[in-house]
Every structure is written in C-alpha cells, then in structure tokens.
A = this chain, B = another copy of it.
Amino acid sequence: MDFEEKVISNQNLYDGAILKLDLETVSLPDGRQAKREIVRHQGAVGIIAITPANKIVLIRQWRAPLGQVTLEIPAGKIEPGETPSQTAVRELNEETRFQAEKLELLTEFYTSPGFADEKMYLYHAVNLQAVADKLAQDDDEFLQLEELTLAEVQAQIAAGTICDAKTLMAIMIWQAMQ
C-alpha cells in the first residue's frame, strides 16, 4: 500500500516568533487532492534533572495556551545554529542554574504529529551540580524552580499542575530509574 502524499503547493499563512503555519495542498495516493494545516516549530529539548537528594527539578510557570500554572521539566526551544545538546546545556543553566557532568539523550519524539512538526529531545542530566557561569535569563519568563520527591510529584499530577506529555514521560523514566 502506498501512503505518500505529494506536496503540490504550500501557502504560508503565518510566520511568527515561535511558530509558522502552513497550508499545504497535497496529492493523495489515489490522486485526489487534500489540504493539510501544518504548524512548523524549530524543535525543543526537555531535561530530566535529579538532585543528589533524589528530587526532580521542575519549573513552575504560566502557560498562556492553557490559562494555568504548570510544573514541567526544564525545557526550551532549539535556537538557530544550536544542536539539541547545546540547547539542553543552555536551558539547564538559564532555567535551573544547574549543570551536568554529562547530558544523555534518552529519547526523541514528535509531540503532535497530526498537525505539528515539533520534535522534542529528552535528556538526562547526569551528576547535577551548581553552575559556575550563569547565563542571562529570558526577560519575559516568570519561572520558579522547585524540587519535588516522587510522592510530591504524584500529588501534583493528581492536582493537574503536572499535566504535559514530556514531563509525564520524564517521570515514568525517573520511576524506572529508582
């Protein structure tokens, strides 16, 4: 069975600060045409950072799309010219003031392949320590660092504050590490 859709034309509907929106016209395997709404995103990293006291480092922040505060693992967009592992080093420093002896890539995945090309790289920060040189922080980010035990994490999942895919996946991986 042939699955491939061939792109006939593409209309860029929006080109913004963090995403682009394209409307593609594609040719289906049976020759008919269809429209595809596609969000383009530069990709992001997430970091599983566990302290020596066996707590997970999370960031409390407002999420405008959800209209609520969340607790998520440290994460951020890949900037032009960066490799994902460089992004991970930078975001860990900016958001948490920690650095790692090594950043291990655990898994990578598309967050929502039905409408977006965003790819997420999930790292494990091995042997956390305080950073020597602090990078400047984004000036429109209001962030609060928190360190939670596994029991506290379970309570925050139940409360709906921990509620995103990468963080839930990180916690499943952390549980398997215990």
Interface residue A21 (Cβ < 8 Å from any Cβ of B):
yes
Q: List the number of copies, as a whole number.
A: 2
B117-A165 in contact (CB<8A): no
Q: Are the CB atoms of B29 and A142 closer together than 8 Å?
A: yes
Q: Which of B109, B142, B164 contacts A113 (CB 8 A)?
A: B164
What's the Cα separation between A37 and B39 when bound, in Å? 11
Contact across chains for B169 and A65 when beta carbons are under 8 A apart: no
The reply to whether B115 and A65 form a contact with Cβ atoms under 8 Å apart is yes
B39/A65 in contact, CB under 8 A: yes
Scan residues 28-66 of chain A and give those whose CB is less than 8 A from a CB of chain B.
Answer: 28-30, 32, 34-41, 44, 60-66
**Given A19-B115, A28-B142, A172-B172, A110-B165 contact (CB < 8 Å):** yes
A72 interface residue, CB < 8 Å from B?
yes
Q: Which of A16, A24, A144 has the most C-beta atoms of chain B within 10 angstroms of its own C-beta?
A: A16
Query: Does A156 sit within 8 A of B, measured CB to CB?
Result: no
Q: Which residues of B contact A151 (CB under 8 A)?
A: none
Q: Are B168 and A64 in touch, CB under 8 angstroms?
A: no
Question: Can you list 15 A-B pairs, Cβ within 8 angstroms, ordered by A?
Answer: A3-B69, A5-B62, A28-B142, A29-B142, A34-B140, A38-B64, A41-B115, A44-B114, A63-B110, A65-B110, A107-B168, A108-B163, A109-B163, A109-B165, A111-B112
If A109-B165, A111-B112 are given as contacts, then 10 extra A-B residue pairs at C-beta distance below 8 Å, sorted by A number, are A3-B144, A5-B62, A17-B37, A75-B114, A107-B168, A109-B163, A109-B168, A110-B165, A113-B164, A116-B116
Report which A residues bind B (CB closer than 8 A): 1-5, 13-14, 16-19, 21, 23-24, 26, 28-30, 32, 34-41, 44, 60-66, 69-70, 72, 75, 77, 107-118, 120, 140, 142, 144, 163-166, 168-169, 172-173
